[in-house]
Structure 1
Amino acid sequence: MSYLAAAIALIGLLAALNLLFTVGVVRRLRDQSAELAALRESGQAKPRPVDDVALPVGAPAGAFAATTIDGEPVTLGTFGERPLVGFFSPRCTPCKEQLPTFVKYAAARPGGRDTVLAVIVGTEEEAQETAELLRPVATVVVEPDAGPLQRALGVTGFPAFLLIEGETVAASDYVFLPVADRDLAVPAAG
């Protein structure tokens, strides 16, 4: 009988500790919500749209330096005045769905692979199959998650597509066609 009483007391003590912990978490969340609301009202914190997976249109593109799968060094300036950039992850189903459209468009883009950068996020082994599809139409870089190109272009999800004009983001989306439409519209307007 004493074991039963000890077990019940222990369960009661654990339940009380759990309740205290939960009250503390709720209090902390309330405090953080109030702080965030105050920052937003003061204009110091601007909410980023949920569907942004890269820098928004009008943002300056960050500088980067990387090495291609062919061992060549690249920077943003390597790709001319209007680079087209695509970010892919080998484990990403939407990336696999968007990849054929990106490859077909890049193959027909004026300037060819010298104006197109494809970034594959993962290990060399994971990236091999995707890299073989992209290599004929784009300059390919493989980097780990949160690598320098992702940081420079604010990439937080995959796939991500950007059109950069004069070091400023002209188009950015997780769907390729709106970026391609912007790319096609600029030469026609010029």
Structure 2
Amino acid sequence: MLFLSTAVAILAALVLADLALSAAVIRRLRETETKLIEMTSPPASGLPLGATMPEFVSPDGQVASADLAGSPTLIGFFSAGCRHCPAQAEKLADRAEEITSNGVRVISFLTVAEGLTDELGPTLRKAGLLVMDDSPSAVMAAFQVQGTPSFVLFGADGRVAARSHDLSEVLGSR
């Protein structure tokens, strides 16, 4: 009987030690997951919510802020070589009809640096107006965009209604 009691006590101690170690491993995994998300997510950038649309003219002169006055506008910033841009460009092209049917204009700015190929252009053209540039432009600076992909949704009043690196977050329930 003493032998069984000792065995049960030792087994209980081992189970408690296992639970403590498992809890420590789970906590460490959660911390690591948080760090990975921070590392892979581009920093929050862009105009703050409620800010007015900055004055701009696209590098090729196709569009200016004055052309967009009074209409809701979704502006997307993309770059060739960006690993997250193709998926977001596909989402934009897939939802373009839905977006424009709600009266929202769609404009995409695509930066294609020297030595890179334009693989996003055909997809982005399906979504609306595409403005291409060979270097990060003054338009990106005006919108305070520091990473691609980035989306900014302006309401009809010309103020930022939503912004994010993910199209789904910007459109929300729209």
Question: Shorter-chain-normalised TM-score: which range?
Answer: 0.5 to 0.7
Q: CA deviation at 1:134?
A: 1.2
Distance 1:57 1:127, change over 3 A: farther
Taking the aligned partners of 1:53 and 1:95, their CA distance within structure 2 comes to 16
Q: Give the counterpart of 2:105 among 107, 110, 115.
A: 115
Aligned to 2:48: 56
Output the TM-score relative to the length of structure 2: 0.65
Taking the aligned partners of 2:140 and 2:103, their CA distance within structure 1 comes to 20
Q: CA deviation at 1:114?
A: 7.9
Calculate percent identity across the aligned residue pairs.
24
Taking the aligned partners of 2:122 and 2:162, their CA distance within structure 1 comes to 26
Per-residue CA shift, 1:121-144, capped at 9, x if unaligned?
124874632111111321011124
1:57 is matched by which residue type in structure 2?
Answer: L
Taking the aligned partners of 1:143 and 1:64, their CA distance within structure 2 comes to 14
Q: Give the counterpart of 1:77 among 52, 57, 66.
A: 66
Give the number of the structure whose residues are more often helix, by fraction.
1
Per-residue CA shift, 1:16-56, capped at 9, x if unaligned?
xxxxxxxxxxxxxxxxxxxxxxxxxxxxxxxxxx8312212
Output the TM-score relative to the length of structure 1: 0.60
Aligned to 2:84, the other structure's residue is in SS state: helix
Aligned to 2:172, the other structure's residue is in SS state: helix
Q: CA deviation at 1:67?
A: 5.0
Cα pair 1:113 1:138 within 8 Å, conserved: no
Taking the aligned partners of 2:46 and 2:134, their CA distance within structure 1 comes to 17
Number of aligned residue pairs: give it: 131
Cα pair 2:92 2:127 within 8 Å, conserved: no
Aligned to 2:89, the other structure's residue is in SS state: helix
Q: Give the counterpart of 2:169 among 166, 175, 178.
A: 178
Aligned to 1:128, the other structure's residue is in SS state: coil
Taking the aligned partners of 1:130 and 1:175, their CA distance within structure 2 comes to 16
Distance 1:67 1:111, change over 3 A: farther
Taking the aligned partners of 2:160 and 2:98, their CA distance within structure 1 comes to 22
Distance 1:81 1:125, change over 3 A: farther
Taking the aligned partners of 1:61 and 1:145, their CA distance within structure 2 comes to 22
Q: CA deviation at 1:100?
A: 1.0
Per-residue CA shift, 1:107-163, capped at 9, x if unaligned?
322358981000101248746321111113210111244312101211001110110
1:81-160 pair list within 5 angstroms: 81-110=71-100, 115-123=105-113, 126=116, 128-160=118-150
Give the root-mean-square deviation of aligned CA atoms: 2.6
Distance 1:107 1:173, change over 3 A: same
